[in-house]
Amino acid sequence: MNNSDILFIYDAKLCNPNGDPDDENKPRMDYDTHRNLVSDVRLKRYIRDYLEGEGYEIFVTQVEGETVDATRRLKALFEKHKEKVDLGKLSKSDLDRLLDRLIDVRFFGATMPIKGKEGERGVSQAFTGPVQFNWGYSLNPVTICSSSSITSMFAGREAASEYGTFGKDWRVLYSFIAFHGIVSGKRAQKTRLSEADIRVLDNALLKAIPLQATTRSKIGQTPRLLLRIEYKDDITFLGDLRRYVEIKPNEGTREETLRDISDLKLKVKPLVDILEKNKDKIEKIYLWQHKDLSIQEGESFKALCEEKNLEDKVVDLPHSE
């Protein structure tokens, strides 16, 4: 398995990409820079929910509709496959079977604290995930809509009674959110991550948000660009690719007044220049660009790569928009 750097960009319009439970569920913000923040946990949750919906087994999930500890989750998993194992003494073959079944552990790793039997100490199994993401942040300064109070009314126990709940409805006007991620070839060996798994990850990044962000506060989010740079070894990383891209508002529009994907172009030439400079270290450039995303320097990201004689390295990621 070789290393990869990932650049994943999506936008959010009139929704709440990632609420902060410690702040009235307002969208997470860096108030000094007015940048919208999204945790890696939020992105991973979208991916896990999508994979589970596609029939993959995952570790971080509920059992029969309940949130359970690692001991009960592992017990349920082995029972599902009609296997009797001692959770306190998992063998290498037991752990290999777990990894082969649990795609989210192969991706993101997991800590599995297992309770001991009465009078015995528990044990813990830990896997460091080869796929990791930084927190995402918006490339534009973001304005939060003034909250309106929302009310829900329910019938009470008495025939003529009712009760209600009140809350705040916080949303961003428009946020163009970028994530940087990595795939570590060395750590992939520890979780049995395969090339086929990476293709599943590419697909999940493009499909998870449109299919999972469908609640009242989350609808309005759309993938715009996915770039995965696969290197020729398990040593190379170029680092955070967000350093090499920026938003350019259309003429007559300011960054703080962006409201739609049609209001901006994405400047990516510095990124393409870095790829050209390091092309001898790059095996493949996996690329998907939304049809509504305009690139400042040309028609498409792919066209820019072709101008730099990188066309033999570019692989289009299939996706139905």
Report the C-alpha gap between 264 and 258 in whole angstroms. Answer: 7
Q: How does pLDDT run across 127-140, given as a tens digit for each residue?
A: 999 999 999 999 99
How confident is residue 115, by pLDDT bands cut at 50, 70 and 90?
confident
pLDDT at 318: 83
- Residue 209: how many CB atoms within 10 A of its CB? 22
Half-sphere exposure of 91 (CA within 13 A, CB side): 5
pLDDT at 120: 67
pLDDT at 168: 84
3-state secondary structure of 54: coil
Nearest of 175, 186, 159 to residue 247 by alpha carbon: 175
**pLDDT, mean of residues 249-260:** 95
**pLDDT, mean of residues 70-80:** 90
CB 138 within 8 A of CB 224: no
Q: Is the pLDDT of residue 160 over 90?
A: no
Which residue type sits at 137?
A: Y
pLDDT at 166: 58
pLDDT at 129: 97
Q: DSSP string of 150-166?
A: EEEEEE-SSTT-EEEEE
pLDDT at 188: 98
How confident is residue 82, by pLDDT bands cut at 50, 70 and 90?
very high
Q: How does pLDDT run across 189-207, given as a tens digit for each residue?
A: 999 999 999 999 999 999 9
Q: How does pLDDT run across 273-291, given as a tens digit for each residue?
A: 999 999 999 999 999 999 9
pLDDT at 215: 94
**Helix residue ranges, H only, 28-157:** 40-53, 70-80, 92-101, 103-108
Strand 264-267 relative to strand 246-249, pairing: antiparallel
3-state secondary structure of 140: strand
How confident is residue 314, by pLDDT bands cut at 50, 70 and 90?
very high
How confident is residue 57, by pLDDT bands cut at 50, 70 and 90?
very high
Q: Is the pLDDT of residue 163 over 80?
A: no
Residue 201, CA distances (Å) to 132, 135, 238 in order: 12, 18, 20
Q: Is the pLDDT of residue 159 over 70?
A: no
Report the C-alpha gap between 36 and 135 in whole angstroms. Answer: 10
pLDDT at 122: 78
**pLDDT, mean of residues 207-236:** 97
pLDDT at 117: 72
Residue 215, CA distances (Å) to 145, 210, 254 in order: 18, 11, 30
For the question of whether the overall pTM of this predicted structure is more than 0.85, the answer is yes
CB 134 within 8 A of CB 160: no
**pLDDT, mean of residues 116-120:** 67
